[in-house]
Structure 1
Amino acid sequence: MARSGATIDDYFRPDASSRKRKWTDLHDEIRDGFSVDELTAPQGDDSTTWKPRQNYEDVLIGELTPGPRRVTFMARVVNIYDLPVASKSPRAAKGCLKILAKDHTGRILISLWYIDVEYGLGLGSLFTVWTPHVSVSKSNPKSGSTNQGRENAAPLMTSIFPERDGACHVVVHEDTAPSTGRICRVPLGYREGQPHGHGLSSLVESRELARRDASVETKVLVYVKAVGAVTRVTNTKGHSSDKIDIGIGDESGEAILTLYGRMMLSALRWTPFSTILLVSRVNWRLDWRLSVTAQTMIDVDPDIVEAEWLRRVAVGLSRCVNQVYPEGVFDVETLESAPVKLKFTLADIDEFVRARPNEIYMGYMSLLITEVNLTTLYTRRRLFSSECCNMPLFANAVAADCGQCGRNLELRLNPQVIGALTDETGTISCSPPPPSRGASNSWNSPARFYPISRDTRPMTSTPLIWSPQAWRQLLGREPAELLTAAAGDDSAGKAASPSPFLGYIQSRLRFLRITVMFGWSGELGKLAICRVVG
């Protein structure tokens, strides 16, 4: 029987490559967004690696309105946590980053779904979002907050899935460039010159307000004092997570801020006595701890006048507690061989330095040791000290590990061993401040951040720098020999008892008159004891 008509097979031969393939072969092709290589490729601040197919309106967060609208905005992360999703499907999301972001006009909750891409987002990260839709946030995100009266974390929200949806995208910017370092760092609602400190409270005031009314929202501006070690904890449901304790402080007191997950990873990059945090909507506990919820906002290094003032205060507290004696600054050999010996008093040095502070002065002084803290510092485990990562390090040992970077450091004799030097015109005081009541025995105190010493009182730099030779001439031995001769080793982690040997050395030094060769340098800014000649 003749064929009634031609079919498509008469004109095209079937292609073997068009046969149905396995699901794993089509895995990357089914996605209608971007490939993993495109999303993980290095991206510059101008986001030239992605070109949107449609026009997106560049807006501020405060200008966003609910509904379908292609918009792009830049923001900083003030809260972030990860919600893993258990699914066996290769197309399904493996997790969602809940990001609370803000600029100076408003805040928004972003649900960033992901499969394979690792977004380098953390607290303080600057990023740009392209999204085709913004909706109203109807309910609070998952949170451990017990305050039901608080408003939502943000009035608006958007949900994006860049690996599946080509209409949305995210670019994370580096803050190393000067052009991006100050973008979106102004706190929400901040107005320069606004009275009453923009609703800021001190740590002590915030804690008292929270004790009277847990629903009161307060804002505290603090500096990072210490970054603790990462520890793993297990909750009542059997889920394990990593956490980190951050020591924070202001002019009124100190506290502990506990962070988990993504927020914890951000804190590892913070610099003690330099990083400033503006913490809002935080929960207080009874043991001076601050717990973070999904509604908490943490601005990292906010661009406000109050933050600059607090940073200057923090830098003053972090001055080197035991500065290294500068070699090559003072010509000791020339002064020793000079036929004329210039004798100064403390009043003379003060007068000359005030008149010409940038000059270098050298001479001799006759001083009386009126205070010695040898046994006190040994009992408090501060006989030797150094500094690393902007943090003081104290121990009754010649070496110790830094609690921040883990580097082994060589410690030097604490210059506060000599508490005061006096002549007929004045006194130089180097004594440590008196111990605070119960500071070294409270486990809940932020003192436990210090791996060597639990004393948390601010240790400002002493006005004197002793050379190694000056210490040997004053003590009659190497400073390390004090530890060898002292009894009561501090190996058990408890306060050691001073030996009779240290008490004998201290009694011999007290009210001893010595003649020292000194040096002053404007660049150094301290009085250096170069030699003890008599």
Structure 2
Amino acid sequence: MTSYFPSIQSFYSREVVSEESHDSSSPAKAGDGFTPSEVEAVTKPLSRRFRPSRHYDVCPIAELQTGPHNYEITGRLVKLYCNASECQPLLGQRITFWATAISAGNQAEIGHIPLCSVATTIYPGRNGATHIQFHVDEPGSEEYRSLRCPLEMSVEQHSQLPGLMTLKSFLAGGYDIGAGKILVCVRSIGPRRSVTSKKKEAVLDLVEVGIYDDTAHCVLKLWQDKISSARPWIPNHTVLLISQPWCGSNDRTNRRIEVSIGYSSMVEVDPDYPEAAWLRHKIQDMAKKESVIVPFPADTWDLQLAMHGSNRTLYTLAEIEDQVRNQDPARNFTGKLNVVVLEMNLMDHWRRASTYCTECCGIPLYANRLTAICKNCEAQRGLSLNPRLLGSFLDESGMISGKKLIWNGDAWNQFLFGAAAKKSPVGYEQGTTVEQSWQNIAASNTDSLRDLESQLLYSRVTLTFGWSLELGRLCILGVEW
């Protein structure tokens, strides 16, 4: 009597093709025995939903014990090395992984990574016992705000981080301290470009991220697999806590102004503790002062009432300063200013091709036309007149810089063309829209712009202004000649 041994094909179920979908005229395609879901589970193991076949204990990283044990661990990425793939992890991303054993990290596994004493291995393929999941949290959600407390800091005490220094101190020599940390804010994100490395004899991708705090600014270089992490960062908002950053010198000036992520570096994105909240608030105040252009706050004032209403007050610059500094500033107010145009920079900015400007990705955009393309996101942006075209205004009590003023679009028209609308060297007619008048300026020649600048210089004008408590700026609502 012969014994029966099952074949390999008997372990796989055959696909049953319905008679409706089967076409007798077309030849049948032989399968390999695997369903599409089984193929995807092997080729894309991270895309499948993990269904644990055993119990896993949820455990924080600080309480892990070496040896065989089923752990479910959730944390955030602070360091990574990986090849380009469909699943690109990001610094600061929340991850969850299921491990079956924890080992004491040796020199080959963890090297000189600070605060790292244990290691584990994940096989998210056919091994159903271990798995890793990369979470994509909605900004502002509870999951997005979780797990943000910095390393080496007690949640209850909020003590000072050891080794934390200002960016200025770090660049001045603090990089020699092995355990140094810097807390910085993202200032700008540059375009992605390729650089030929003579040392590695290869072409590497590079993105330069501008970083700064209240003491200094420099460039953070992101190479290869770190580049994708900068995509969700927001200029003047995202805060980075970098432990043991690498500091390099510029080849031309030999000054240490370039920071990058080294082998022992760790990056914590948007840490949640008082120093980071203070820096973000400080940076936002600095950004208001250094911003290329501030949008006009619409729907804040009734423009017709402010310009032609019965309650109109004529101020001097000194009286406005006293009103803002010494009296109750907890309200917006309007008034009028009678000033002399002391300085105009129209021709200077025309020669520099910076008559119009805006900001995109934290990078200023300048041009002598109404549109420009951002070099970082390659999006076309509309530009506005550069407030730095106006040098300064003067009255009998003081002087104010024109670049600090926020102009309404109609106020620009009234200022540039209201003095001599009939004999204006730049084409202008009554009722011309703001965009049309700005296009007329962009299409003007040098002689016309020079004549316009000379007409405005040393002329006396009445400005209707509104004080914005939120912006801390004077906003020009209208102009009268």
Would you say same fold, with TM above 0.5? yes
* Helix, strand or coil at the partner of 2:120: strand
Contact 2:209/2:219 (<8 A) preserved: yes
Matches within 5 A, 1:445-456: none
Mapped pair 1:253 → 2:216: yes
| 1:132 paired residue number | 100
| 1:115 paired residue number | none
| 1:57 paired residue number | 57
Contact 1:219/1:280 (<8 A) preserved: yes
Structure 2 Cα separation of the partners of residues 429 and 533 of structure 1: 19
How many Å apart are 1:297 and its aligned residue?
Answer: 0.3
Mapped pair 1:322 → 2:293: yes
| 2:479 paired residue number | 532
Change (3 A) 1:482 1:304: same
Structure 1 Cα separation of the partners of residues 302 and 215 of structure 2: 45
How many Å apart are 1:141 and its aligned residue?
Answer: 5.8
Contact 1:283/1:290 (<8 A) preserved: yes
Structure 2 Cα separation of the partners of residues 317 and 397 of structure 1: 28
Matches within 5 A, 1:105-144: 118-140=86-108
* Helix, strand or coil at the partner of 1:265: helix
Per-residue Cα deviation, 1:374-423 (whole angstroms, up to 9, x for no partner):
45544555432223345433334332122343222222222232233232
Per-residue Cα deviation, 1:458-493 (whole angstroms, up to 9, x for no partner):
xxxx24324232333258444555555565xxxxxx
Q: Which amino acid aligns with 2:293?
A: N
Structure 1 Cα separation of the partners of residues 72 and 208 of structure 2: 35
How many residue pairs get aligned? The number is 433
* Helix, strand or coil at the partner of 1:181: helix
Matches within 5 A, 1:4-19: 6-8=1-3, 17-18=9-10
Q: Which amino acid aligns with 1:257?
A: L
Unaligned runs of 5+ in 2: 14-30, 251-256, 427-436
| 2:169 paired residue number | 205
Q: Which amino acid aligns with 2:328?
A: A
Mapped pair 1:181 → 2:144: yes
How many Å apart are 1:124 and its aligned residue?
Answer: 0.6
* Helix, strand or coil at the partner of 1:205: helix
Contact 1:398/1:410 (<8 A) preserved: yes
Change (3 A) 1:463 1:78: same
| 2:401 paired residue number | 429
Q: Percent of pairs identical after alignment? A: 28
Q: Which amino acid aligns with 1:187?
A: P
Contact 1:318/1:390 (<8 A) preserved: no
Q: Which amino acid aligns with 2:459?
A: L
Structure 2 Cα separation of the partners of residues 524 and 293 of structure 1: 40
* Helix, strand or coil at the partner of 2:78: strand
Q: RMSD in angstroms over aligned alpha carbons? A: 3.9
Structure 2 Cα separation of the partners of residues 119 and 479 of structure 1: 46
Change (3 A) 1:385 1:133: same
Structure 2 Cα separation of the partners of residues 502 and 16 of structure 1: 85
Change (3 A) 1:364 1:142: same
Per-residue Cα deviation, 1:169-227 (whole angstroms, up to 9, x for no partner):
1122232263212322111102476666532122232233367x4x7332111111111
| 1:345 paired residue number | 316
Matches within 5 A, 1:72-471: 72-83=72-83, 118-140=86-108, 150=112, 154-176=116-138, 178-191=141-154, 198-209=162-173, 213=176, 216-236=178-198, 237-287=200-250, 288-319=257-288, 320-325=291-296, 329-333=300-304, 342-350=313-321, 354-355=327-328, 357-361=330-334, 363-378=335-350, 381-430=353-402, 462-466=404-408, 467-471=411-415
Contact 1:161/1:168 (<8 A) preserved: yes
Structure 2 Cα separation of the partners of residues 340 and 283 of structure 1: 61
Contact 1:141/1:153 (<8 A) preserved: no
How many Å apart are 1:351 and its aligned residue?
Answer: 5.8
Per-residue Cα deviation, 1:132-177 (whole angstroms, up to 9, x for no partner):
112222225699xxxxxx5678322111102131111112223226
Structure 2 Cα separation of the partners of residues 400 and 205 of structure 1: 38
Change (3 A) 1:209 1:305: same
Q: Which amino acid aligns with 1:174?
A: V
Larger displacement relative to structure 2 (202-211 or 52-61):
202-211
* Helix, strand or coil at the partner of 1:222: strand
Change (3 A) 1:169 1:345: same
The normalised TM-score by structure 2 is 0.76
* Helix, strand or coil at the partner of 1:159: coil
Contact 1:471/1:479 (<8 A) preserved: no
Change (3 A) 1:195 1:370: farther
Question: If each structure's helix is expressed as a fraction of its own residues, which one has the higher value?
Answer: 2
Change (3 A) 1:486 1:247: farther
Larger displacement relative to structure 2 (55-64 or 390-399):
390-399
Mapped pair 1:512 → 2:459: yes
Contact 2:316/2:397 (<8 A) preserved: yes
Change (3 A) 1:230 1:340: closer
Structure 2 Cα separation of the partners of residues 56 and 387 of structure 1: 49
Structure 2 Cα separation of the partners of residues 342 and 20 of structure 1: 88
Structure 2 Cα separation of the partners of residues 25 and 501 of structure 1: 77
